[in-house]
């Protein structure tokens, strides 16, 4: 039985509802959410998780209103330029942006690329999915597999996920890495992201350790 999940997926959902319930702006809700994601990443790293993939935006999310997307992008820029560099050692951590970068604002992509260039470590890997679509990922992997003569599973940029945490109670993956998550343990929280306590992550990981990881066997 594994002592910990090696790869955790995080779907930080419910921020618009939190803003409405707390009578605050979308900008403040998403900025607080970015800080909470940092807290989650730190807690997972402390528990010896090796890789975390964060679902920032699906390609379908790009159809939201301009005001909503502006709030997401503003918080994401702060996340990339200040929060991650302040919280993680660039020599020990790696960073990678995945998704259709052509559909994202240039300043968003530039900030993410800077992190990719400066965070060169291998002890803890942070993946960000933005403008991500599973069909796009599969098509790209199929082309790479055909070109390189390898199995399609080996052509995927992101490996298998052991545990997926969504910060809303809706039992949905919303297109999050469906191939890699096919045997993942799924956790849907009733606590909104912006009210999540770091100790709750410790409890989730403790529960994971007690859950048989059979992967179809």
CA angle 108, 109, 111 (to 5 degrees): 70
Nearest Cα neighbor of 69 from 128, 60, 167, 195 is 60
Q: Where are the domains of the chain?
A: 7-209
Give the number of C-alpha atoms closer than 13 A to the C-alpha of residue 47, restricted to the C-beta side: 28
Nearest Cα neighbor of 195 from 5, 4, 17 is 17
- What is the per-residue pLDDT across 62-77, written as a single tens digit (0 to 9) for each? 999 999 999 999 999 9
7-209 — its CATH code?
Answer: 3.40.1180.10
- What is the per-residue pLDDT across 37-57, written as a single tens digit (0 to 9) for each? 999 999 999 999 999 999 999
pLDDT at 199: 87
Q: Torsions phi, psi of 55, nearest 5?
A: -90, 95
Mean pLDDT of 185-206: 92
């Amino acid at each position: 039985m594994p002592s910990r999940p090696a790869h955790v997926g995080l779907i930080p959902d419910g921020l618009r509802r939190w803003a409405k319930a707390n009578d605050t702006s979308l900008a403040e809700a998403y900025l607080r959410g970015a800080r909470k994601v940092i807290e989650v990443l730190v807690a997972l790293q402390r528990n010896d998780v090796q890789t975390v993939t964060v679902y920032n935006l699906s390609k379908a999310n790009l159809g939201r209103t301009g005001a909503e997307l502006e709030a997401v992008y503003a918080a994401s820029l702060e996340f990339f330029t200040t929060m991650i560099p302040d919280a993680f050692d660039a020599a020990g951590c790696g960073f990678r942006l995945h998704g259709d970068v052509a559909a994202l604002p240039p300043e968003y992509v530039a900030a993410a690329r800077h992190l990719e260039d400066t965070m060169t470590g291998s002890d803890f890997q942070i993946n960000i999915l933005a403008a991500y679509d599973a069909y796009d990922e599969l098509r790209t992997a199929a082309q790479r597999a055909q070109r390189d003569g390898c199995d399609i599973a080996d052509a995927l940029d992101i490996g298998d996920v052991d545990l997926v945490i969504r910060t809303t109670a809706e039992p949905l993956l919303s297109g999050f890495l469906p191939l890699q998550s096919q045997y993942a343990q799924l956790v849907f929280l009733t606590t909104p992201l912006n009210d999540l306590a770091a100790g709750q992550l410790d409890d989730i990981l403790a529960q994971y350790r007690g859950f048989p990881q059979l992967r179809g066997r």
